[in-house]
Structure 1
Amino acid sequence: MRFTPVVALAAFTASTTASVASDRYIVHFADAASARAATHASQFAPTERRLSDAPRHLRSLAAGGEVFELGPDEASRVSALPGVDAVEEDLMFEPTTVVASLWKRQWYMHDPKVGVDAEKAWKYTRGAGAVVAVLDTGITPHPEFDGQLLPGYDFISDAGAARDGDGRDADPTDMGNWSDPGECHSPEGKASTWHGTHMAGLIAARAGNRPGIVGLAPEAKLIPVRVLGRCGGRSSDIADAIVWASGGDVPGVPTLARRADVINLSMGTTGACGPLLRRAIEQARSRGSVIVTSAGNDQKNANTNTPANCPGVVSVAALGRDGAMASYSNFGNVTLAAPGGHIGDRGADDILSTWDIGKRGRERSVFGYRGGTSVAAPQVAALVALMRSADPDITVDQVTQQLVDNARPLPGPCPKGCGAGLMDAGATVDAVVEDRGRY
């Protein structure tokens, strides 16, 4: 007579009284009759019994086996019953995307000396719900931005500088900012920089299952805003773009449905902060947008560079791989510092991010290194996105205060002044979470 485990299961469940957490296990029976009998008995177990007292059958599997809810001790005992071949845990699998395959090269995120301590901040948030506007050369298609982009805008009013055949339009795609010898006040020609793409990746790249990088706020959304084209960009276009990205009205341009929490300006020129730019920044701040700017790469006091010298901005100096002020960085009256790498021959001590291989027009999405205060600023902008994700009600001034209060001491010398210190994403987000609702 073939044995079926019905009686054994019934006896087993009646004698099991310990209240333990149940989990899912796959029970493999010796034959189909044993499986049918066991699952039938489980399905008709008294409903008033606890799960730990009566194993609950969930489903039969196409590849063989029956799924039950069992406690860990129950699973061990069931495996010893006659008619049961084996019991295995119904394991939980996760995507193999711990961070990114290029994570080791992203020293600026995790280096114990000069990194920004991203992983500590990610215990609380990765930026979900926050929006970052990147005012730059526009953006190129890249796998890292799949699902990350909100509708942007091209604010370049000069069709020649825009290289897209018209003036302002709703397409913020970077058409390349290359120049020929003699153009743009330079005797030498220059290749396209794909600058906006590089900045965007530092903020919100999402490697997913691909080989790639991860931004500091990989769950934030990006608004690409094109303001820099051939030879650069005009303050009139940049000011309008600041107003628009912060939710203000610009004639002839559809108003944003959702203003940016933070606006990144990795750009600059020598001079004072003019009335137009000053007003645009004041208005953006009044609407709740934080303005983050690069300090400049002129080896001068940041007071000589605009928009870094505009009132109310968060200005960012750059540190080299050794933790000291980068040789190129502006200094002095800045808010804080962030990793910026070197300038010159690009290499592993610089900042890795999204790129395009094209010298003039777009050719192929890749990753590349860049140094400068330009790459330091978007790391701070991404941190602001994390802060706004952790506490959507934190004000513009409170953001700046938290950045300053939670910066850590510089790991290297900066005799001419690098602000409050090195940005610390972990400590800053931790402080925002702790203070949430207490302001």
Structure 2
Amino acid sequence: MQAETMWRTSTGEGVTVAVLDTGVREVPELAGRLLPGKDFTDGTKGKHDEAGTTAAAVIAGTGRGAGGRESAYGLAPGAKILPLKVSDGSEVPDSLKRSVRIASSVAPAIRYAADSEAKVISISVGAGLGVDQLLSPAVTYALAKGKLVFAAVGDSEVANAAVKSPASVPGATGVAAVGKDLVALTSSAVGPQVMLSAPGEDVLGACAGTQGLCTSSGTAVATAVVAASAALVWAEHPDWTNYQVLRVLVNTVGGPKSGAVRNDYIGYGIVRPRIALKEPGDPGPADVYPLPDLAETPGAPPGGGADGGADSATPVASVGGDGPGTAFLVSLGVCATGLVCLAVAVPLLVADRRRTGLSRP
């Protein structure tokens, strides 16, 4: 139960995560965790309304279900959730219009989150090609306001599908999903914009359905895990900037087993929040964006950015010190007393000091 080990250090308390999804229902597992949200869909009903309930619960579920029964925890049960309802375009048949519809609701939602108390922005939905220009200014604005933006790279029945927007936008950290076999899901989008990855297969958590609990798969759930990981780290180091938190998450991943710094399937690797809390290493400069997808650092003082700190913007390849070298388990659930184990337990591969890890062939 590595999550319980992490919770001795941090539960994410004091950190708010903005969840941009198709709506969050006030289920028992999220009691006391939801802040007043906002609807950016103009009241439009889609086919997947309230799908954000699962993402929110994976982040901040309290482990208390209906009637006070034990249920699934989120990875950062002390965090707060700011639910921002956006469109997934399911109500629009035309693909281009669908993308514009998604971007038209996500862009103002990002800006709203940037102006709020939220430190982390978790975006579950994605649009097709051609709308990066609609979303890029909002992402840059959020970074300049000191926020972290994590976006699902998208899911598709077609193998090696392109990364969706806003995950494809520079400055948004694109998140892919890995399965129980510790390999990138074939449904997870592939491309140079993939930066991080996390568990995303059959994750058990609270949902908006009548059954109360459900299993969910895909990059939206994986993005929630990464957002929760950031909340844990930021709660432990409240004086760090968004760039320092992101740098530590990247520096402590389990990376591609090929030895490459990153690949297009899992990015720099799978997040390891326990290692990020235990052995964060040097968080680096506070004002330099740590990834190479931006030419300039939003919000940096004059002289900062890629031109002023190119070396610092390059992700570190390993973590110093002695740490585990075999297996790592993040558990997002608890066992109901005398009954059934409602565990969201997904094994994560631990990289050795040469950043060995996993990738899809």
Cα offset, 1:139, TM superposition: 1.1
* 1:290-369 → structure 2 map (5 Å cutoff): 290-298=148-156, 299=158, 304-333=163-192, 334-341=194-201, 350-357=202-209, 364=210, 366-369=212-215
Q: Which residue of 1 aligns with 2:333?
A: none
Which residue in 2 is equivalent to 1:419? 267
Tell me how far apart the structure 2 counterparts of residues 403 and 155 of structure 1 sit (CA, whole Å): 30
Which residue of structure 1 aligns with residue 218 of structure 2? 372
Compute the TM-score of the two structures, normalised by the length of structure 2: 0.68
- Equivalent residue for 2:279? 431
Q: How does 1:27-176 map to 2 (within 5 A)?
A: 117-157=2-42, 159=43, 161-162=44-45
Which of 90, 105, 122 pairs up with 1:264? 122
The answer (yes or no) to whether the contact 2:247–2:284 under 8 Å persists in 1 is no
Structure with higher Rg: it is 1
The one-letter code sitting in structure 2 at the alignment partner of 1:284 is A
Unaligned residue ranges in structure 2 (runs of 5+): 92-100, 287-361
CA contact (8 A) 2:14 2:80 kept: yes
- Tell me how far apart the structure 2 counterparts of residues 404 and 418 of structure 1 sit (CA, whole Å): 12
Distance 1:416 1:239, change over 3 A: closer
**Counterpart-to-counterpart distance in 1, 2:224 and 2:76:** 10
Distance 1:354 1:193, change over 3 A: farther
Distance across 1 between alignment mates of 2:9 and 2:283:
12
User: Which residue matches 2:241?
Assistant: 395
| Structure 1 segments of 4+ aligned residues over 4 angstroms from their partners | 299-304, 410-416, 434-439
Matches of 1:402 and 1:273 in 2, distance apart?
Answer: 30
Is the 1:203–1:218 Cα contact (8 Å) retained in structure 2? yes
Query: 1:204 & 1:241 partners in 2: Cα distance?
Result: 20
Deviation per residue, 1:108-139 (Å, 9 max, x gap):
xx5xxxxxx43343231000100000011111
Provide the C-alpha distance between the structure 2 equivalents of 1:218 and 1:412, rounded to a whole number of angstroms: 35
Distance 1:279 1:195, change over 3 A: same
Q: Supply the distance in 2 between the matched residues of 1:332 and 1:229 (Cα, whole angstroms).
A: 21
The yes-or-no answer on 1:286 pairing with 2:286 is no
Counterpart residue identity of residue 425, structure 1: P
Q: Which has the higher contact order (CA 8 A, sep 6+)?
A: 2
Say whether 1:242 aligns with 2:82.
Answer: no
1:231 equivalent in structure 2: 90
2:52 equivalent to 1:206: no
Alpha-carbon distance in 1 for matches of 2:86, 2:238: 28
What residue is the counterpart of 1:253 in the other structure?
A: none
Letter in 2 for 1:271: L
Equivalent position amino acid for 1:424 in 2? R
1:128–1:389: 8 Å Cα contact kept in structure 2? Answer: yes
- Is 2:274 the partner of 1:274? no
Per the alignment, in what secondary structure is the counterpart of residue 198 of structure 2?
strand
Distance 2:52 2:163 in 1: 24
What is the deviation of 1:271?
0.5
Query: Matched residues in 2 for 1:437 and 1:309: separation?
Result: 25
Q: Post-superposition shift, 1:431? A: 3.5
- CA change 1:417–1:365 in 2 (3 A) is closer
1:297-351: per-residue Cα shift (whole Å, max 9, x none)? 135657542111101111111111111111111123211211111xxxxxxxx11
1:408 matched residue in structure 2? 254
Give, in whole Å, the separation in 2 of the partners of 1:351 and 1:317.
14
Contact kept, 8 Å, 1:273 with 1:309, in 2: the verdict is: no
How far, CA to CA, are the matches of 2:187 and 2:284 in structure 1? 40
Q: Which amino acid aligns with 1:128?
A: E
Cα distance in 1 between the residues matched to 2:165 and 2:89: 20
SS of the equivalent of 2:174 reads strand
Letter in 1 for 2:185: A
Instruction: Supply the distance in 2 between the matched residues of 1:378 and 1:355 (Cα, whole angstroms).
Output: 14
Q: Cα deviation per residue 1:406-433 (whole Å; 9 max; x = unaligned)?
A: 001458999753111111010112234x
Provide the TM-score with structure 1 as the length reference: 0.57
Q: Within 2, Cα distance between the matches of 1:388 and 1:217?
A: 11
SS of the residue aligned with 1:297? coil
Following the alignment from structure 2 to structure 1, what is the Cα–Cα distance between the partners of residues 159 and 71?
A: 35
